[in-house]
Amino acid sequence: MKKLGKSIFFMVPYPLGKAPSQRFRFEQYFNLLRENQFNFVVKPFYSDKTWAILHQEGNFIAKSLRISASFFSRFLQLFQVIKYDFVFIHREVAPIGPPFFEWIIAKVLRKKIIYDFDDAIWLPNYSEANTRVQKLKYYTKVNGIMKWATRISAGNKYLATYASQYNKNVVVNPTTIDTLNYHNLELYTFEKETDKTVIGWTGTHTTGKYLGFLVPIFEKLSVEFDFEFCVISNEDPGINVENLNFIKWKKESEINDLLRFDIGVMPLSDDLWANGKCGFKALQYMSLGIPAIASPVGMNTEIIDEGVNGFLCTTEEEWFKALHFLLSDKNNREKMHQAARDKIIQKYSVISNQENFLNLFN
């Protein structure tokens, strides 16, 4: 293998282009790596075919066979890792079982591991439907991988503080937005399908549980305002909200769907898991000039400047007042439009973070 510069072996959970944690933490830096003469290869645990059936009901035998094949592929990849300078591990090398592969990479092959994560993944967090599978996970393996890593790439200060218990070489590498080539209003021609003000939320079904908090607030607001609540997700949230517009998430239409929003919301509970979140919803909203209203949890308190580009709200009354303010006057939203986008470009964009990302491999 011909080396162009430093070489990186990415061992990641998900197929490329499928998961937000991968797309917005390292996949969008691939061109930057190429420009800087890095040689790299990416090996997901799940193939596209496995990922497609993973969350379907049934198909237990097919799923088991495909996951077994993925473990075998991981074993064979250990022989390829030898040729590379760095092994970049996002979250974990394999989704279940102890850190067998990570131990071999660190202790037997003695490779430099860059360990990247953007959630409090040492804490159990799963739905009732996945209880059986979760029994096979070793959440405590995260601590061991941190100890073996050469450098840790943590999504926010909360995660970095936890990681520093096990490794002193920790870098805060925030989740970022490509404000030039993707989340860029100048690249899209969009016409709204409704004259109503649109309050929007995007996320997976696992975070949809927080939307129930907004239902009584929306009921009060609907007495005075005629608005639409738009949800972009992989599953219908199943909440009882008048004028709910559910849109199935698709990567191809992701930005145009987000551009429907006039206001973006991100409710969270204040717990250990939520404090590890990296504010991705707020980043997406604000990068497109959409004012964000969010719970003051985790990275949200750093991303949102109160009254400038959005609002941080805890109680129902605070949420009601913030939404009322933005619903009552289009000018109020427009004043926050540019401030929201400017904040992301300056602090949480690929451009602003590229040197920080490259330094992971120094």
Residue 182 in this model has a pLDDT that exceeds 90: yes
Give the residue, 266 or 60, on which the prediction is more confident: 266
CATH class held by domain 185-347: alpha beta
Sheet containing strand 86-90, edge to edge, reads 39-44, 7-12, 86-90, 112-117, 151-154, 170-172
Cα–Cα distances in angstroms (integers) from residue 230 to residues 204, 220, 280, in the given order: 14, 17, 17
Q: What is the mean pLDDT of residues 22-50?
A: 95
Residue 116's DSSP bridge partners are 90, 153
Residue 242 confidence (pLDDT): 85
Q: What is the pLDDT of residues 69-104, one digit of tens each?
A: 999 999 999 999 999 999 999 999 999 999 999 999
Residue 53 confidence (pLDDT): 84
Pairing of strands 151-154, 170-172: parallel
Q: Supply the DSSP string of 16-36, one letter for each residue.
A: TTT-HHHHTTTGGGHHHHHHT
Q: What is the pLDDT of residues 128-177, one digit of tens each?
A: 445 555 667 788 899 999 999 999 999 999 999 999 999 999 999 999 99
Pick the CATH number of 7-173 from 1.25.40, 3.30.1380, 3.50.50, 3.40.50: 3.40.50
* Predicted TM-score of the model (pTM): 0.89
Residue 4 confidence (pLDDT): 47
* Average pLDDT score over the chain: 92
Residue 133 confidence (pLDDT): 59
236: helix, strand or coil: coil
**pLDDT band at 2; cut points 50, 70, 90:** very low
How open is the CA angle 355-357-361, to the nearest 5 degrees? Answer: 105
Q: Residues spanned by CATH 3.40.50.2000 within the chain?
A: 185-347
**pLDDT band at 1; cut points 50, 70, 90:** very low
Element (H, E) at 66: helix 60-81
- Token pair, residue 348, equals 């949480």
- Token pair, residue 138, equals 């070793």
Element (H, E) at 325: helix 316-328
Give Cβ neighbours of residue 195 (< 8 Å, ≥ 6 apart).
none
208: helix, strand or coil: helix
